[in-house]
Structure 1
Amino acid sequence: MKRVSYTSRPSYALRYSLTTAINKSLCYHDDDAFKYRAYTATYLLIFPVAFLCNMAALLVFFIQRARRSSASCVVMTNLALSDASFSLTLPLRLAYYFRGGVWDFPDWLCRLCVYGFYVNLYTSILFLTLLSVLRWLAVTHPLRHRTLATPPRALLVCLGIWLFVGATSANFLWSGVVHRGGSPRCFEPSGPDWKPLLKFNYVGVTFGFLLPFLTINCCYIQIIRRLTTTNTALGNSNHNRTSRLRNRRRPVHLVGMVTVTFVVCFFPYHVIRSLHLHAIDGKWSCEVIVALQRAVVITLCLAASNSVVNPLLYYYSTRTFRASMKGAHNSLLSARRSSFRSGVHLARIKKT
């Protein structure tokens, strides 16, 4: 009886393991339809609002600087500049998703868009943290705030933040165009080794989220404690002191809004992103990887929306910003009225 040799054929276990490995390497790419729809809808809403609001904020801050500059104004100007710069990359992202994931632009633009997202993300976090520290200093140490929190020093700190985030995010400049499915793709990892990306993720989570978040919470607690003790010491007999205390409570609104921004925009993204990278590196089941991939898409949309939330923070937490916005609105209305009256006057002259 002739014995049949199966050495030239792969065993069933080997074929199964190869198929499983291939499926796991591709399963986080097979949910493109959900990803493209979510990003397209989000960026269509974010782009006009973020661009117009942050450009208007930059104009208001420029007007304030010509009249009266402050350290908080300098920090908010840099924050608005970061958000406005990020909004300029959104049309390229929209064109990519409208094309169904085909990148028709140069490779350096792809790298710049990826780099710009993370620079905006972490500069926003650090600028918001700096704002909270300035408000904490103004409430708890007002004399030191006057001497330390000067506009030139605030500008130097902001430049340091730009340099620090720009240098530490330079790794994302290597994430350029990759080819998948016969088409050039952008915003996708290029290599199969996820361990370096996982380590880099934890550096970003530690220094770009956890430490700033703890700093903001400490500032918030100290501000509330100081205002509570001051309110108890002053009592309610002196109207001037009560009104002064009411003015000093405005920092609570700003730090509170910053904390809400962290919880809504930044906290979910960093948690889900870490879990997703662990799932891919640990070769978890494809169902879990795809579910986490969808969660990353949703939380990334929340993180990108911080460029829309920040102008609300300027408006509702800064009295001078509201006054400048109202002044600009009134001047625009008066200009329209004067132009309308001059047009009516010219029409009457032509009739006569």
Structure 2
Amino acid sequence: MNGEWMNVSLLNTLMGNVSNNSSVANELVKCFHNDDAFKYHAYTVTYLLLCPVAILCNIGALAVFFLQGNRRSSAPCVVMMNLALSDGSFSLTLPLRLAYYFKGGVWDFPDWLCRLCVFGFYVNLYTSILFLTLLSALRWLAVNHPLRHRDLVTPLRTLLVCLGVWLFVGVSSVPFLTGGVTYREELPRCFEPSSPSSWVTVLIMNYVALALGFLLPFLTIIVCYSQIVRTLQSRFEGESAATARRRSDKQRRSVRLVAMVTATFLICFLPYHVVRSLHLHAVCGGWNCGITVALQRAVVVTLCLAASNSVVNPLLYYYSTGSFRKNMRNAHSSLKKGSMRRNNTYVPPKT
């Protein structure tokens, strides 16, 4: 109760500070908007690199998943297909973001597209986090409780859980649809809060997203990882060398999957959530201009890392799933053979 009261008290204080000192808040906003050149350059370079890779990798991943036949209906495959769909959908908004930053922060598209781009980023961010958490939980259940996994985990139930994730994140992100194009310096802008009071709204939403969308999933993954490693180590104790070798492949896949998911959290998601929270407190709390600008730059860098999860996840499919690698090689061989047949087709000479 005391912690809840302190959070409410802090938010009320921040809201009071912003409303009573709107001139200070406006000066802070101007302060870090003067550093727009760094932001635009960083986002342009990042999205130029991410856009083609993310689109090709995620569309290719979906194609490979569909080629997997019976394997396609397994629970991990269902989750990975939803993850690829989330990343692929986000990657399709990157050309709009690129056009915006190429024009120096001028939005020449309809207002609803601006809202959709903002909404799409957060939907992708938190569906990715929750789908990765679900993958880790499924692996934990398969390793630590195989009988329960066999009875409980079915493709249909997994699909329903995935639909629940989409619904939960989509509904939670609806407030981002309310803020569209704003005008600053008489130019249409996107991806910017409209007023100092809206920064406080974003700060409140940040608390909710931090707790439910990051900390809880991250703790779940850490627990899953530690339990999986402990279980696999205990199983190897007292086993013969031949049995241990037979289990080694499964052990490597399990540890590889959860280790890669943990690395994704540490590299893509953790820095962004920490720096974003500090930056919002700097703006709403009226911190020093120099500190605010430094945090703004840190937010830009960590947001680029967060966006890069759309190209990191396909690596997860490749290195943690043997059937994915096999079908990818088969697809490549089929394309290669088809190309060779077309090149070797006899064309009669013209008479």
Q: Which residue of 1 aligns with 2:176?
A: 172
Which of 276, 281, 302 is residue 278 of structure 1 equivalent to? Answer: 281
Query: Residues 304, 68 of structure 1: CA spacing in aligned structure 2 closer, same or farther, 3 A cutoff?
Result: closer
SS in 2 for 1:184: strand
Is the contact between residue 231 and residue 245 of structure 1 (CA under 8 Å) also seen in structure 2?
Answer: no
SS in 1 for 2:344: helix
Is the contact between residue 227 and residue 249 of structure 1 (CA under 8 Å) also seen in structure 2?
Answer: no
Query: Residues 131, 20 of structure 1: CA spacing in aligned structure 2 closer, same or farther, 3 A cutoff?
Result: closer
Alignment of 1:139-218 (within 5 A): 139-193=143-197, 194-218=199-223
Q: Deviations over 1:189-221 (max 9, x none)?
A: 012113222111010000000000000000000
Deviation of 1:39 after TM superposition, in Å, equals 0.2
Q: Which residue of 2 aligns with 1:10?
A: none
Matched residues, percent identical?
65
Gap regions ≥5 residues in structure 2: 1-20
Deviation of 1:351 after TM superposition, in Å, equals 7.4
Supply the distance in 2 between the matched residues of 1:65 and 1:319 (Cα, whole angstroms): 14
Q: CA RMSD for the aligned pairs?
A: 1.6
User: Does residue 324 in structure 1 map to residue 327 in structure 2?
Assistant: yes
Query: Residues 222, 18 of structure 1: CA spacing in aligned structure 2 closer, same or farther, 3 A cutoff?
Result: closer
Is the contact between residue 125 and residue 306 of structure 2 (CA under 8 Å) also seen in structure 1?
Answer: yes
Alignment of 1:112-123 (within 5 A): 112-123=116-127
Scaled by the length of structure 1, the TM-score of the pair is 0.91
Deviates more, 1:219-228 or 1:195-204: 195-204
Supply the distance in 1 between the matched residues of 2:318 and 2:189 (Cα, whole angstroms): 39
Is the contact between residue 78 and residue 158 of structure 1 (CA under 8 Å) also seen in structure 2?
Answer: yes
SS in 1 for 2:56: helix
Supply the distance in 2 between the matched residues of 1:274 and 1:21 (Cα, whole angstroms): 17
Q: Which residue of 1 aligns with 2:38?
A: 34
Query: Residues 65, 30 of structure 1: CA spacing in aligned structure 2 closer, same or farther, 3 A cutoff?
Result: farther
Query: Residues 22, 133 of structure 1: CA spacing in aligned structure 2 closer, same or farther, 3 A cutoff?
Result: closer
Which of 247, 253, 260 is residue 250 of structure 1 equivalent to? Answer: 253
Supply the distance in 2 between the matched residues of 1:269 and 1:240 (Cα, whole angstroms): 43
Q: Which residue of 1 aligns with 2:86?
A: 82
Deviation of 1:22 after TM superposition, in Å, equals 4.7
SS in 2 for 1:233: coil
Query: Residues 136, 19 of structure 1: CA spacing in aligned structure 2 closer, same or farther, 3 A cutoff?
Result: closer
SS in 2 for 1:102: coil
Relative contact order (C-alpha < 8 Å, sep 6+): which is higher? 2
Is the contact between residue 140 and residue 226 of structure 1 (CA under 8 Å) also seen in structure 2?
Answer: yes
Q: Which residue of 1 aligns with 2:58?
A: 54
User: Does residue 100 in structure 1 map to residue 104 in structure 2?
Assistant: yes
Deviation of 1:249 after TM superposition, in Å, equals 2.9
Is the contact between residue 25 and residue 196 of structure 2 (CA under 8 Å) also seen in structure 1?
Answer: no
Q: Which residue of 2 aligns with 1:339?
A: 342
Amino acid at match of 1:310: N
Which of 228, 235, 239 is residue 234 of structure 1 equivalent to? Answer: 239
Supply the distance in 2 between the matched residues of 1:48 and 1:172 (Cα, whole angstroms): 26
Amino acid at match of 1:32: D
Deviation of 1:24 after TM superposition, in Å, equals 2.3
Deviates more, 1:24-33 or 1:268-277: 24-33
Query: Residues 176, 20 of structure 1: CA spacing in aligned structure 2 closer, same or farther, 3 A cutoff?
Result: closer
Amino acid at match of 2:105: G
Q: Deviations over 1:40-60 (max 9, x none)?
A: 000000000000000000001
Query: Residues 71, 180 of structure 1: CA spacing in aligned structure 2 closer, same or farther, 3 A cutoff?
Result: same
Is the contact between residue 276 and residue 292 of structure 1 (CA under 8 Å) also seen in structure 2?
Answer: yes
Q: Which residue of 1 aligns with 2:349?
A: 350
Supply the distance in 1 between the matched residues of 2:151 and 2:161 (Cα, whole angstroms): 15
Q: Deviations over 1:26-80 (max 9, x none)?
A: 1121111000000000000000000000000000111114555200000000000
Gap regions ≥5 residues in structure 1: 1-16
Q: How many residues align?
A: 330
Scaled by the length of structure 2, the TM-score of the pair is 0.91
Supply the distance in 1 between the matched residues of 2:124 and 2:140 (Cα, whole angstroms): 24
Deviation of 1:240 after TM superposition, in Å, equals 4.3
Q: Deviations over 1:162-193 (max 9, x none)?
A: 00000001010012000001100000001211
Q: Deviations over 1:263-285 (max 9, x none)?
A: 00000000000000000111001
Supply the distance in 1 between the matched residues of 2:313 and 2:107 (Cα, whole angstroms): 30
Deviation of 1:340 after TM superposition, in Å, equals 1.2
Amino acid at match of 1:159: L
Query: Residues 338, 21 of structure 1: CA spacing in aligned structure 2 closer, same or farther, 3 A cutoff?
Result: closer
